[in-house]
Structure 1
Amino acid sequence: MSKLKTTAADMVEAARDRIEEIETADLIGMVDDPDVVIVDIRDIRERQRTGAIPGSVHAPRGVIEFWVDPDSPYYKDVFGQEDKKYVFHCASGWRSALTVATLQDMGFQAAHLKEGFSTWADKGGPVEMIEKK
C-alpha cells in the first residue's frame, strides 16, 4: 500500500486544534447539569464492557451525522434541543475529536471529552453498567 497523504493521527490533531476540548474533571462536574447533553459514540460492546456515563445518550459513530441533521430521515430529536451544550466522547478522544470537527463543519456546535472515557472512572466519574440485550 502506498503511503497515505494524511494519517489518522494527523486528522485528530487538526480536529483538536479547532474544537473545544473538555477535561475529565470539568465534565464530571457537569454530569447533573440539565443543560448538558453527554453523547457516547462508542460501540455498544464497548459500553457493555466498561460501562457508560449515567444519563448519556448513545449515538454510534457510524450514524451521528444523520442523527444530527434535521433534514435526514434518521434525525433524532435529542439533537434538536435549543440552548444545550453537547459533549461527545469515545474511549480515548480520537473518534470524538473527528466527530465534533465534522459536526462543526455541518453547523452543529459541540465539544468533546479530551481524554475520552478511558480515564473517567479513575478520576471519580460515575459509571453505570450497560446490560447486554
Structure 2
Amino acid sequence: MSKRVLLHRFRSWLGVTLELSITHHHRSLATLHRALLHRVQCLQTYVVSCNSVRCLIDTSYFEKIKEPPRHWTEISSAQLISGIGTKDLQLFDTRTEKEVNETGLIPGATNIPLSKLAHALELPADNFQSEYGLRKPVGMDRNLIVYGCDHRNMAEAVSILHTAGLFFGRCYPGGWTEYQRIKEIDDLSTLQPWTDISYETLMSMIASKDIQLFDVRSLAEVERTGLMPLSTHIPRNRSSVSFSLVEVAEAFALPPSDFQRKYGVALPAKEDTNIVLHCLVGIRSLGALSLLWDAGFRSSRHFPGGWMEYSARTSC
C-alpha cells in the first residue's frame, strides 16, 4: 500500500487528524501516526483495517469517573496552580508585549507573542536560549503550556506547537483572565472554566430545551453520524474538515433573516447565554468559540467532549 493511500486513510479517520491542526497540515506519515496515537489516549482499543481506520470506544472508561476528562490538549486551573507551585511547567504567554507590560505574567511564564510563536520554535536551540533566556522545548516535553488573554486563539497556538513537532504541547484555555479569577481560591478541585460545559450540563440543557446548539463538524462527518438532539449543523456547504470553520464565521455574520432561511433557526442574540458549540473532540469547537467571541457573542460556550464523548456516554 502506498504512502499516499495510507496518508489519505489516516486523514479521513473521523476527521481526527485535522482536529489536531485547524490551519496546518502535519508533514509526514510518521507524524500523522504519532498524532493519532495521542488523540486516542483516553480510549482503550483501536484497530487498523484494510478499508479504514476506526476507533472502538470502550465506554467503561467513562463509567469509572464522575466527570468526563478534559480535552487532552487543555490543562485545568488546578493543574496550572499545581504546576506553578512545583515549578514543573514550561509556560508561554502568547499575548502581545503591550498586554503583558500592562498586566504582568503568570509566575514562571515567558512571553512569546502568538505572531512570533511559529518563528521562535524554528530557531536553533542556541538562538532560542539567547533570545528568551531558557531552553528551547523539545518534542518529548510533556510540560509545555501556552496561554493567552482567554480561550481565543488557543486552538491556533496548540496547532503551532503540534506543527513544530511538540506533540504534547497543551494550553490553559482560561488564560490570564481565568488566572486572575482563581489564583486566590484555595480549593480548585471542582472548578471548571465557564466557557466549557460538561456532559451532564449539556444533557440537562437539551432536556429543558434551553439551548442553542450548533454542530461545527464537516458535512461528511454529520452525514455519517447524524446530529445531537436540538442541534443545528452550520458548515453544510463544505465537506472538508479544514474549511468547516470558514462557514461558521460567515454564518454568524449573516443578517438574521438570511440566517433563519439558511439554517432553519433564529440567529442567536449576542447576549444569549445558552449558545453551545461542539465538534468531534473539542478542537474545532474551541476555534469556533473564538470566532463567535470576536463577532460579539461573548457568552457562548462549547462542549469539549464533542460527538465522541456524547456518543460514548449515551450508548452506555
Task: Please state which band the TM-score falls in when normalised by the shorter chain.
Answer: 0.7 to 0.9
Say which SS state the counterpart of residue 29 (structure 1) adopts. Answer: helix
Q: Which has the higher helix share?
A: 2
Identity of aligned residues (%): 23
- Counterpart residue number, 1:51: 226
* Distance (Å, rounded) in 1 between the aligned partners of 2:160 and 2:204: 29
How many residue pairs get matched? Answer: 122
The whole-number CA distance in structure 2 between the counterparts of 1:42 and 1:115 is 13
Task: After TM superposition, give the deviation of residue 84 of structure 1 in Å.
Answer: 5.3
Question: Which 5+ residue runs of structure 1 have no aligned equivalent?
Answer: 126-133
Match of 1:79 in 2: 267
Instruction: Report the CA distance between 1:102 and its aligned residue.
Output: 2.0
RMSD: 3.1
- CA contact under 8 A between 1:25 and 1:123: conserved in structure 2? no
The CA distance in 2 between the partners of 1:114 and 1:55, in whole Å, is 18
Alignment pair present for 1:68 and 2:252? yes
Task: Read off the aligned partner of 1:4 and give its amino acid letter.
Answer: A
Normalising by structure 2, report the TM-score. Answer: 0.34
Higher alpha-carbon Rg: 2
Is structure 2 residue 278 aligned with structure 1 residue 89? yes
- Show the 5 A alignment for 1:107-122: 107-108=296-297, 109-122=299-312
Q: Residue 104 of structure 1: CA displacement?
A: 0.7
The residue that corresponds to 1:129 in the other structure is none
Q: Give the aligned residue type for 1:62.
A: V
Question: C-alpha distance in 1, partners of 2:295/2:272?
Answer: 18
Secondary structure, counterpart of 1:22 in structure 2: coil
How far 1:43 moved relative to its partner? Answer: 0.8
Amino acid at match of 1:39: F
SS in 2 for 1:92: coil
* 1:8 counterpart = 2:159: yes
Q: 1:53 to 1:110 in 2, by over 3 A?
A: same
CA distance in 2, matches of 1:44, 1:13: 28
State the alpha-carbon separation in 2 of the partners of residues 55 and 30 from structure 1: 10
Q: Distance in 1 between matches of 2:272 and 2:291?
A: 20
User: In the alignment, is residue 24 of structure 1 matched against residue 212 of structure 2?
Assistant: no
Q: Shift of residue 20 of structure 1? A: 0.2
Give the direction of change, closer, same or farther, for the CA distance of 1:71–1:117 in structure 2 (3 Å limit).
same
For 1:20 and 1:84, the matched residues in 2 are separated by: 11
Comparing 102-111 with 75-84, greater Cα deviation is found at 75-84
Q: Distance in 1 between matches of 2:196 and 2:219?
A: 24
CA distance in 2, matches of 1:10, 1:120: 28
**Distance in 2 between residues matched to 1:25 and 1:49, nearest whole Å:** 25
